[in-house]
C-alpha cells in the first residue's frame, strides 16, 4: 500500500489543487462583478431617498428669507442610521452627545467670520457645545456641526423621554447687523422617527441578493482568502482517521468519504450561522453596531484567536491518537465523527468571528450606508445569509469533489499523523494572526498576485 501512495503523490497534489480552485470559485464575484458599483446601483437610490426624507423630518427652518436661509438639523442616532455621515459619526458619538447641524446660506453680503454660537435648552437647563466643527472662512454657505454632551449639571444622563420639547438657540451677525441675531429651532416630543420613515419595504428579496453579492465582491475578499486555507486544513485533518500509517487504508476510505462531507457541512454551517447572526445583530442595533465594533473588535479578535489556537492544539493531539484499530466499531466511528464535526463547526465560527471583528467596520458601514438595515433583523440577516451561501456553495462542491477522489482518500487514511501536524501548525498560525492583529498582512501579500488591488 505504501508504494501505491508514493506513486499517487502527483495525482493527490492535482486533486488538492483542483479542490482549492473549486473552493475559491467565489472569486468570480471580485473579478467579474463590480462590487461597489453593484452596491451603489441597488442601494443608492433607496438610501438617498430615505436619507432625504429623514433629514427633512429632523430639520427646522430658523430663517427662510430671500436674503438669508438658516436651518438646524437635530442629528439623532436614527439620523445617522439613514444618512451617510460615517466620517463624522466616529468622532461625535451621538450615543453620548446631542449632535446638531446648522446650515447658513446668505444671498446678499458675506457670512460673519465667526461660527454661530448655539445653546440647547432642555426644560429649565441650558447646555453648551463642547465641540464645534465648521469653516471660519466661508462667504455664502457654511455647515457647522455642534456636539453637546448628554449630561445634566449633576452628571446624570439627560433623558429626552421625560421632556416635551428641546430648543436650539443660534446666534450670529447676519446681513451686516452690528449685534448678533438669535433664532430658535424647536423639536417636540416624541423625538423618534415615525414608523413610515423606518419602513424597509424598499429592500426587496432581489435587492437583498444583489447586495449580498456586492458585499461578497467588494468588502470581505481578504477574509475569505484566509478562510479557504482554514477550510482546507480542517478537511484534511478532521477527515483523517488517526492510527498507524498504512493500516487498512482501503478499508477506511468509505468512512473517510462520508466524513469529508460531514466535516464540510459542519464548517459551512459554522461560518454561515456566525455571519447571519452578525447581520441580524447589525440590523437590530443599527448604527450602534458601528460603535460597538470599534470598541470591542480587538477583544473579539483575541478571543477568537485563542479559540482557533486551542482547536489547532487539539488537532495535533488528536492526530497522535491510535484509534484506527477501533474504527470498525460503529459507536467509535459515530463518536469520532460527532467530535470532529463539532470541532469543525467551532473552528469555522471562531475564525469567522475573528474575521467579523477585523472587518466589522466595513460590514456595518456597507449594510448601513447601502441598505439602511436599521431596526430590521430580517434584512440584515438576509443579506449576510446571501453572502454566506455564495461562499458555502463552492466549499461544499470542493468537498464533494474531494470525497469522490479515491487517491486522496487513501492518502488521508495513510498519512493521518503528518496531515494533523501540518494542519495544526497552519491553524495555530492563523490564530496568532488574529491575536496579533496581523490579519491584513497575509491578504496584502496575496492581493498583488490576484490583481484585486
Compute the average pLDDT of residues 341-363: 71
Per the CB < 8 A criterion, the answer to whether 92 and 131 are in contact is: yes
Q: Which residue did the predictor score with more confidence, 32 or 146?
A: 146
**Each residue's pLDDT tens digit, 68-124:** 999 999 988 778 766 655 445 556 778 789 999 999 998 888 888 889 999 999 988
**Each residue's pLDDT tens digit, 428-450:** 888 888 888 776 676 667 666 66
Compute the average pLDDT of residues 145-173: 90
Q: Domain spanning 55-196: which CATH class is it, in words? A: mainly beta
Compute the average pLDDT of residues 391-415: 83
Query: Using 50, 70 and 90 to split pLDDT, how confident is the model at 233?
Result: confident
Query: Model-level pTM greater than 0.75?
Result: no
Provide Rg for the chain, Cα atoms.
29
Per the CB < 8 A criterion, the answer to whether 348 and 267 are in contact is: yes
Compute the average pLDDT of residues 239-257: 63
Mean pLDDT is lowest, of 42-51, 145-154, 299-308, for 42-51
What pLDDT shows up at residue 5?
45
- Residue spans of the domains in the chain: they are 2-32+200-450, 55-196
Q: Which residues contact 44 (CB under 8 A, 6 or more apart)?
A: 370
What pLDDT shows up at residue 7?
44
Compute the average pLDDT of residues 276-288: 75
What is d(CA 427, CA 429) in angstroms, rounded to the nearest whole number? 5
Per the CB < 8 A criterion, the answer to whether 360 and 255 are in contact is: no
Q: Which residue did the predictor score with more confidence, 367 or 230?
A: 230
What pLDDT shows up at residue 374?
47
What pLDDT shows up at residue 71?
95
Per the CB < 8 A criterion, the answer to whether 150 and 96 are in contact is: yes
Amino acid at each position: 500500500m505504501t508504494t501505491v501512495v508514493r506513486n499517487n503523490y502527483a495525482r493527490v497534489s492535482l486533486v488538492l489543487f483542483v479542490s482549492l480552485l473549486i473552493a475559491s470559485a467565489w472569486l468570480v464575484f471580485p473579478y467579474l462583478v463590480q462590487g461597489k458599483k453593484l452596491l451603489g446601483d441597488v442601494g443608492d437610490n433607496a438610501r438617498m431617498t430615505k436619507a432625504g426624507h429623514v433629514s427633512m423630518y429632523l430639520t427646522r427652518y430658523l430663517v427662510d428669507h430671500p436674503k438669508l436661509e438658516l436651518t438646524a438639523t437635530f442629528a439623532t442616532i436614527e439620523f445617522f442610521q439613514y444618512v451617510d455621515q460615517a466620517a463624522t459619526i466616529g468622532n461625535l458619538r451621538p450615543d453620548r452627545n446631542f449632535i446638531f447641524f446648522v446650515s447658513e446660506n446668505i444671498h446678499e453680503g458675506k457670512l460673519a467670520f465667526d461660527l454661530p454660537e448655539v445653546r440647547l435648552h432642555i426644560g429649565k437647563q441650558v447646555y453648551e457645545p463642547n465641540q464645534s466643527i465648521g469653516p471660519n472662512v466661508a462667504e455664502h454657505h457654511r455647515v457647522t456641526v455642534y456636539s453637546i454632551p448628554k449630561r445634566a449639571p449633576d452628571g446624570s444622563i439627560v433623558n429626552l423621554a421625560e421632556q416635551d420639547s428641546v430648543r436650539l438657540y443660534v446666534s450670529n451677525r447676519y446681513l451686516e447687523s452690528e449685534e448678533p441675531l438669535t433664532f430658535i429651532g424647536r423639536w417636540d416630543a416624541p423625538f423618534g422617527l415615525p414608523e413610515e420613515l423606518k419602513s424597509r419595504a424598499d429592500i426587496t428579496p432581489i435587492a437583498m441578493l444583489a447586495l449580498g453579492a456586492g458585499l461578497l465582491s467588494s468588502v470581505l475578499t481578504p477574509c475569505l482568502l484566509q478562510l479557504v486555507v482554514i477550510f482546507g486544513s480542517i478537511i484534511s485533518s478532521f477527515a483523517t482517521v488517526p492510527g498507524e500509517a498504512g493500516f487498512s487504508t482501503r478499508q477506511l476510505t468509505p468512512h473517510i468519504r462520508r466524513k469529508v462531507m460531514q466535516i464540510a457541512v459542519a464548517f459551512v454551517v459554522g461560518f454561515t450561522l456566525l455571519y447571519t447572526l452578525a447581520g441580524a445583530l447589525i440590523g437590530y442595533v443599527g448604527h450602534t453596531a458601528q460603535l460597538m465594533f470599534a470598541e470591542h473588535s480587538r477583544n473579539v479578535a483575541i478571543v477568537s484567536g485563542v479559540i482557533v489556537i486551542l482547536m489547532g492544539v487539539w488537532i495535533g493531539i488528536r492526530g497522535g491518537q491510535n484509534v484506527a484499530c477501533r474504527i470498525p466499531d460503529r459507536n467509535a466511528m459515530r463518536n469520532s465523527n460527532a467530535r470532529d464535526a463539532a470541532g469543525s463547526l467551532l473552528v469555522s465560527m471562531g475564525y469567522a468571528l475573528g474575521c467579523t471583528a477585523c472587518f466589522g467596520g466595513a460590514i456595518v458601514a456597507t449594510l448601513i450606508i447601502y441598505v439602511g438595515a436599521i431596526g430590521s433583523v430580517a434584512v440584515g440577516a438576509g443579506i449576510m445569509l446571501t453572502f454566506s451561501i455564495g461562499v458555502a456553495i463552492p466549499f461544499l462542491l470542493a468537498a464533494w469533489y474531494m470525497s469522490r477522489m479515491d487517491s486522496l482518500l487513501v492518502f488521508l487514511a495513510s498519512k493521518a499523523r503528518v496531515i494533523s501536524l501540518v494542519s495544526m501548525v497552519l491553524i495555530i498560525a492563523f490564530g496568532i494572526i488574529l491575536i496579533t492583529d496581523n490579519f491584513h498582512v497575509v491578504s496584502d501579500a496575496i492581493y498583488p498576485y490576484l490583481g484585486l488591488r
